Chains A and B, each alone.
Chain A
């Protein structure tokens, strides 16, 4: 039977998105609450992260699942903004519904308006942000040493970000440690972001205040043999990804004896000699630590043990990869994140990982706007431009759009009329600006309602009065 496609009504679309908005709204903002998920197995998940909340819900509605997937992808690219995404989406849909309510074909009108808004967002909106909003931000680059990161701005950014993910007291500790980690690695955010699974260790059962930075790389292994006591000299380590013992002696294989000498004892002796030769090679190389990503046989462990070699088995691949690239990086540092419960620890680890991902996005060159592709454009948004959290960006953009709306109301009337005559199906720029400006209002309301933070209040008042920051 062939499934007939059904036309989605804007009302049902809006309702679906509004439900998701209601779910994450409580966690939005500097004073947003946390959601505790529990499984039947007793596992808990404590989070304020929009993506995690939405993906943990039980949702079968196809449109809701699509929205959750969009949020997840957005978050995977940017590292942040998942709750804002849902809030702005709901607000935009409401504005579209308001403007197409009276249309004869509401669905077609809404689709065209949405496409026009997308084009507006890609073209004009990015210019607005570049020209009017970005100058109010700060740069992550150190003004005195270009190419280096301004540590103070970086720490403020990290602190603000982590405050949106974990509780304020914990955020201070974790942001301090993360800043320290970045400073030790000379703020090579990309490297830390790429190797973060190997650069951190989560330890549950201890208060978060026990979190610290350790000098060196922490190797995570499932099994280990004792390291014989020796003098404090450099230790040579070898990383292997295969079993070193010849596979004939590993259980589960069938050994077919052939040839003149069919005795099993002679085969074992020959294999044993090969094992000894491997150990001799290790000793010759001076290896006293073996990092193996797989399990080695008992016979091998016993043999290398006689030669004083310690073996770590089932070491994760990320650790081995980091181990192999570290030789050119100097002394590494690892982050140990503690938490009283597994859920709390995981929350802190996820927050740090997202913070690094966000920094990676901020440092990346892809923030150059389309303006660079056009001719005769000199105002390019500087990469690594950051604006303080708490709704500053939304307030600035809202104010700029309002100003443009008022300024161009009279001057653009003629152009708008001309455009409308030429292409009546295309909504005018002032209309699109107005829609986007009104879309930002609910987000502002969310921030403004949390005016226990004086910064947000001052920013809003300043913008409302037209005072440049």
Chain B
């Protein structure tokens, strides 16, 4: 070990604000990884002496001798679940949140059947998605265009992208005139589409590429639906 005096070693200066943010983000990520790994150890997984080649996290091994990297296979995909860029469901919930935030909220909680389009049309309800669920639980906006909008028949997409359907059901809530929510939704989807395309070009992992392709497909379908609404 070098015993040279290193003046910088112990003259510690507090980090700047940006450095603090980076440090906090890194520490949070490491804490999450440690917590997950601790939980897996208590479930009977084995902590190996090897590290993941991609992220450097210590590998775990389950009882079936299968290696498992918490960061790559769980943490990042968990983050992806909430990341609108990689998950259409998260994107839709973000859109819905923005729509609700931009409309006046009413306190009367009467529940006319026309104000619950989801239950009438029988579409798969996105309650499992937090944003949409909170939107459903909250007081409903005034029915701007109830009856004609409800007659719009949603086109059923292939089962591989079931998350798209709520978009078409959520759309009737919005007024047909060029609404700021529609245009902001379009902007958001376009932005994510561009981002996903860029990421796809640089992506080296098969898993990530598949996810990005599905995201791009979802974004394209969302844009198509939004344009249809815009025109109608």
A-side interface residues toward B, CB under 8 Å?
11-12, 14-16, 18-23, 25, 35, 57-62, 64, 98-105, 107-109, 111-113, 423-425, 427-428, 431
Contacts and interface: CB of A to CB of B under 8 A. Distances in A.
A427 B10 contact: yes
B8 A103 contact: yes
Contacts of A15: 30, 33-34, 57-58
B47 A112 contact: no
Interface string B7-19: 1111011010000
Given A18-B30, A62-B49, A112 B9 contact: yes
A25, A103, A431, most chain B CB atoms within 10 A: A103
B2 interface: yes
Contact of A19 (B1, B5, B47): B47
A173 B6 CA distance: 58
A425 B6 CA distance: 6
Interface of B: 1-10, 12-13, 15, 30-31, 33-35, 37-39, 41-42, 44-49, 51, 56-58
Contact of B2 (A16, A57, A102, A108): A108
Contacts of B38: 19-23, 25
B1 to A, nearest CB: 5
A265 B19 CA distance: 96
Contacts of B34: 15, 18-19, 21-22
A330 B11 CA distance: 65
Given A61-B49, A108-B1, 8 more contacts: A22-B35, A60-B47, A62-B49, A100-B9, A102-B8, A109-B6, A113-B9, A431-B12
Given A59-B46, A61-B47, A61-B49, A108 B35 contact: no
Nearest to A22: B38
Contacts of B7: 424
Given A19-B38, A111-B1, A60 B10 contact: no
A76 to B, nearest CB: 22
Contacts of A16: 58
7 contacts: A15-B34, A19-B58, A23-B38, A58-B45, A61-B47, A103-B6, A424-B5
B8 A23 contact: no
Contacts, number: 97
A20 B42 CA distance: 10
User: Which 5 A-B pairs give the minimum distances between C-beta atoms?
Assistant: A22-B38, A18-B34, A58-B46, A109-B9, A425-B5
A428 B169 CA distance: 66
B194 to A, nearest CB: 34
A104 B4 CA distance: 12
A22 B37 contact: yes
Contacts of A109: 6, 9-10
Contacts of A107: 1
Contacts of A35: 42
Nearest to A23: B38
Contacts of B37: 19, 22
Given A60-B47, A103-B8, A109-B6, A19 B56 contact: no
Nearest to B70: A19
Contacts of A98: 12
Contacts of A113: 9-10
A59 B38 CA distance: 11
B56 A12 contact: yes
Given A23-B42, A425-B3, A64 B10 contact: no
B25 to A, nearest CB: 14
A109 B5 CA distance: 9
B49 A105 contact: no
Contact of A58 (B1, B12, B44): B44
A58 B47 contact: yes
A60 B8 CA distance: 37
A88 to B, nearest CB: 16
B6 A64 contact: no
Nearest to A90: B34
Contacts of B10: 99, 109, 113, 424, 427-428, 431
B5, B8, B12, most chain A CB atoms within 10 A: B12
Contacts of B45: 58
B41 A23 contact: yes
A311 B195 CA distance: 85
B67 to A, nearest CB: 12
B2, B10, B12, B57, most chain A CB atoms within 10 A: B10
Nearest to A116: B10
A145 B9 CA distance: 54
A352 B187 CA distance: 67
B51 A12 contact: yes
B71 to A, nearest CB: 10
A96 B4 CA distance: 19
B157 to A, nearest CB: 42
B6, B7, B34, most chain A CB atoms within 10 A: B34
A418 to B, nearest CB: 15
Contacts of B8: 102-104
Nearest to B2: A108
Nearest to A38: B44
A60 B48 CA distance: 5
Contact of A105 (B6, B46, B58): B6
Contacts of B33: 15
Given A22-B34, A104-B8, A60 B49 contact: yes
Nearest to A64: B47
Nearest to A107: B1
Nearest to A14: B30
